Structure 1
Amino acid sequence: MNTINRAVAMPRGMTCHYSQCARRLYTSIAGLLLLGVSGEAFSACEPISYIAIQSATTGAQTISAPLAAGVRIGTFTANSSNIEVFRTICTSSMWMRAAKAPVSTWNGYSVYPTGVTGIGYAVEVADYNAASYTKLTTPQTGAGQSYYRDNYFGGLGVKSRIYLVTTAPLGSGVYNIPAQVVALTRALNRDVTSIDASPSASSNLQLSAFQLTVRNTTCDLAAGDVSRTIVLDTLKRADFIDKAAGLKDFEITANCTDTSSVTFSFTGTPAPIDGWRFANTGTAANIGLWFYSRIGGDVITITPNTGNYQRTVNVVNGKAVLPVGMGYFKLTNNPISSGTLVSTVTVNITYQ
């Protein structure tokens, strides 16, 4: 008796013969995915669905207010990774269609309503092997969008991202986003021209319910630090035993509400000879301004604009206090000429 070995279609990257094959079992899950499984028998060239619902899920979220319209406020993923969402036995395509009509646009995406005033979502979907995503831009009617088309047949995975986007200015408060289907995804034969073609297999992309808290966080420099002049003592050349002299310590304070930390960023003109110091616009030659922080008692140089120019401190009892200091700094071994030291340091704060 003659033995005939027939090649069969397997998931991409796998080959075997009919007598050796077992259907590949996808086991790893990447992302937060709730699985609803359906099983159907194969029929000629008919795709089947293994996952009825791909659900992007998250816990409670907290962000800062106020927010203008058109701002991304969160990203959620439903990533099937190596889990089969669909299986086909003919050359295949995958399609998607929105569950709702769009209400605005954002960065080339259509934005769809969540049912909560001021908050919408944008969607992008891809085959799990793809490097790039396809943006969902169509309404809930029409032919839909194809995001995958190939001669391949076998197991197909799907990965998706859902972006929460403000559709109107958003103030402080608690917003309860209900669970909802955001898009329909389908596997079909390769050469179809519509998501409604037949035969097909379907899987819904769903955003899980969650609570969004928008806090009215603020942080401002203390009134005395908004525009402040630090006057250094007058020195003689003999006072420069080392390169630094005439040091004066002080603090910069930010008053904050509902924040945990503040980052102070410092900018200015670097000294032409020594980029670690701030330039002197006064009349004394060979002198720059040394600016430093004293967090935890450690004296560390703050440089202008880049490098070591930022310091982050925690907010305690509504205040973020940064201990700093300034002084004269001899830039080279050449003599210092008489004159003045005048230098400007600008501080900006960011907070969370």
Structure 2
Amino acid sequence: MQRARLKKWLLLLIGAVLLIGGAALYWEFQNRRMPAMGTLLEEATQIALAQPDRLYNPDDYLLLADLWMAQGRPENARRLFQWLTEHPLQLSDGGIRNAQVQLAIALRWLKLNEINEAEKAFVRACSQALWLQHDPETHAHLTAFFLKYLETQPLARAKALAEKVDEEKRPTVLSALAAALHAAGRIQEARQIQATPSLPVPARSQQAPSPLRVYLENNQLEEAIALYRRSSGYTEEWLLLAQKLIEQGRVEQALALFARNSLLSSKVRLMVARHYARQGQLNKALEVLEQIPSLKDEPALVEVADALAEGGHYRQALRIANALGATARSEALQHIAMSMIEHGRYGQAYRITQEAEPAHRLAVLCALLRQQARSL
């Protein structure tokens, strides 16, 4: 009877182990399981269209539009294009970024074969960029537009479209048209356009690398340290030296080197705190943070939670995040979720940000969608 009782307990123990192991495997599966694209798309689009008129990432909106177009639902893409058009970014770049967004929208209108809408977006882009002729990147966007446009439209219509642009910007637009013709192998037509007086497209200036960067690239740390000690100016480029020292485990040296620099010391301490947090040494990270009086507690702790997540220490990161105020907690959860996505923990990233603020939730949903799009 004693043997039978022992056998019974042994079977119960084996069953319990199998049950716990199965539950752990199931939970790990759920943590790594990617939510359905349809679910992500619907929720992300709903949040995107309800966003207030403030700083946002246009690339997220363009991603959503691309995915809706790929799924044969262009009506949702149109809604996103309309939102972007009605909510230009408030940046001090002379409208360059908004112009690039409108040119990206114009390209997508061409893919939908809605030529009139594409032309409207093109003209809108040219009107929004105050310094169109001084930006090589926007010139590249213009060229890409014309390259696609000329696949279906005659050159005469492209020229007529260029005529709708302000006179001072027209030479730049014609230059992009000529570049598109050249890229399409229509050399003679490109030369005819180039014969029109136009402004030269500025080339990006090639600046020589700073001595500090040369030293760091060649791992000449002692020379870089000597250069810093001879210097009296403030530049955040010195943080590259601090980062290099920290990466090589020379943490105390980095702290000591910048200790007397009131403008850089706090930033170096924050970098050290992130270094310790990535290694899971939370107590050391917090000890370093306590010596940064110029930093508010919550922004610094968001950084620590982010670094913990980068190192795969999710429980510690979530414990810190959940102790923060609502906005800081939401931001920390976004950072943690982004690290989870990088490590393939898609389901967990999706779940932990369900209560995050809409802007942070949208960023995570779009990161999940980008991950899915790469595997299509």
TM range, smaller chain: under 0.3
TM-score, with length taken from structure 1? 0.24
Q: Which has the larger radius of gyration?
A: 1
* More helix per residue: 2
TM-score, with length taken from structure 2? 0.23
* More strand per residue: 1
